[in-house]
Amino acid sequence: MKTLNEIALKVKSLNKKVRIAIAVAEDANTIGAISRSTNEGFVHPIMIGSKARIMELLKDFSLNDESFDVIDVSNHEEATREAVRMVKNNEADVLMKGLVGTDKFLREVLSKERGLLPPKAIMSYTCALELPKYHKLLLISDTAVLPAPDLNQKIAMINYSVKMAHNLGIAKPKVALISSTEKVSEAMPNTIDYALISKMAERGQIKDCLIDGPLDIFLACDPKAGDIKGVQSPIAGNADILILPNLETANAFYKGLMLFAGGELAGLIQGTVKPVVVMSRSESENSKYYCIALSCLMAEVR
């Protein structure tokens, strides 16, 4: 798949209704985001929250009564807990955050007894970007969850992103480990992690992908850069996945691109037993739709 729209097309072609449990579906933003995929027939939302409030909001959206469920739980924490419970018990396939604080929402997702994260699993975030000036989707991590990933967290980010790439039909994704330079230096600890990781991949300790790093963005995404800089890399300016060194870099990278270059994205929480959608309100309508489509793809193609 080379575009985000292809993800939606693929999901539609599966002829399934993915059950999405929405924790506190009490704002127009959330309901707006879910209605398009619902109307297109590949999502069956289960809206959890104050029924009165939800029904009021639904008046503005032309959703068929049969195409969704509402579960009346007025307390936000309880609504979130119920949504997580449903996903955990296979009563829903995807969890989505509505009008509840990210902190409260994630606390429930991370709960040892009730949550969705397997013991010792690392939670992270991968985002698929469709950019006007890149010839295919570009997956990046971690734009939202891990502030300063250590070696093990970086490896987890890679494994999650590789799995997403596989689901997008990329059999052997090219993973670039991004720094400001391609040189290894003790003064830049991320380059040390990257050198270790690329050697681990070379030794088959990380599978089903091609990894190289440290690389800068040019070497990762511009085929001309390798010759100019005299750097030989299996990535060869054709990366599918960028692992960015920390949250600030990743977040600034994607927001800068969205703002100045344009494009759309689809992002998901990684590491949970089922897909978890957490969207920022400031994202475009299309991006929200693509987030939902991606979550359906990840739920259905396992």
Partner 1 sequence: MEIRKLDQMFEVLGSRTKKRLVAAWAIDTHTIMAVAEAVQMGIIEGILVGDETKIKAVCQEHNISSSIFRIINCTSDLVAASLAVDLINRGEGDFLMKGLLSTDRYMRAILNKDKGLMDPGAILSHVTVAEPKNYHKLLIFGDVAIIPLPDLKQKIAITNYLIRTAHFLGIDCPKVGLLAASEQTLPKIPSCADAALIHKMAQRGQIKGGVVEGPLAMDLIVDKESATIKGMQSEVCGDADCILFPNIESGNVFYKTIVKLLKSDLCAVVIGARVPCVLTSRGDSERSKLYSIALAALMA
Of these, 82, 130, 182, 216, which contacts partner 1 (CB under 8 A)?
A: 182
Which stretch, 64-72, 131-139, 200-208, 294-302, contacts partner 1 (CB under 8 A)?
A: 200-208
Of these, 196, 217, 273, 301, which contacts partner 1 (CB under 8 A)?
A: 196
Which stretch, 31-39, 67-75, 227-235, 268-276, contacts partner 1 (CB under 8 A)?
A: 227-235
Say how far apart CA 76 and CA 107 lie, in whole Å. 13
Residues with Cβ < 8 Å from 169, sequence gap 6 or more? 1
Of these, 112, 186, 207, 259, which contacts partner 1 (CB under 8 A)?
A: 186
- On the CB side of 60, CA atoms within 13 Å amount to 13
Of these, 84, 96, 231, 298, which contacts partner 1 (CB under 8 A)?
A: 231
Which residues in 86-115 contact partner 1 (CB under 8 A)?
none
Question: Smallest gap, in angstroms, from Cβ of residue 129 to partner 1?
Answer: 27
Q: Where are the alpha helices (DSSP H) in the chain?
A: 4-13, 28-39, 51-58, 76-88, 102-110, 151-167, 189-202, 217-221, 225-229, 247-256, 285-300
Taking the least distance from each CB to partner 1, the nearer of 120 and 203 is 203
DSSP calls for 104-159? HHHHHHH-TTTSSSPTTPPPEEEEEEE-TTSSS-EEEE-SSS-SS--HHHHHHHHH
3-state secondary structure of 272: coil
Asked whether 158 and 149 are in contact (CB, 8 A), the reply is no
Taking the least distance from each CB to partner 1, the nearer of 115 and 245 is 245
Q: Is 13 in the site for partner 1 (CB under 8 A)?
A: no
Of these, 230, 259, 260, 302, which contacts partner 1 (CB under 8 A)?
A: 230
Interface mask toward partner 1 for 204-223; x: CB under 8 A: -x------------------
Say how far apart CA 51 and CA 33 lie, in whole Å. 18
Of these, 203, 207, 259, 260, which contacts partner 1 (CB under 8 A)?
A: 203
Instruction: Summarize as ranges the residues that interact with partner 1 (CB under 8 A).
Output: 151, 182-184, 186, 192, 194-196, 198-200, 202-203, 205, 230-232
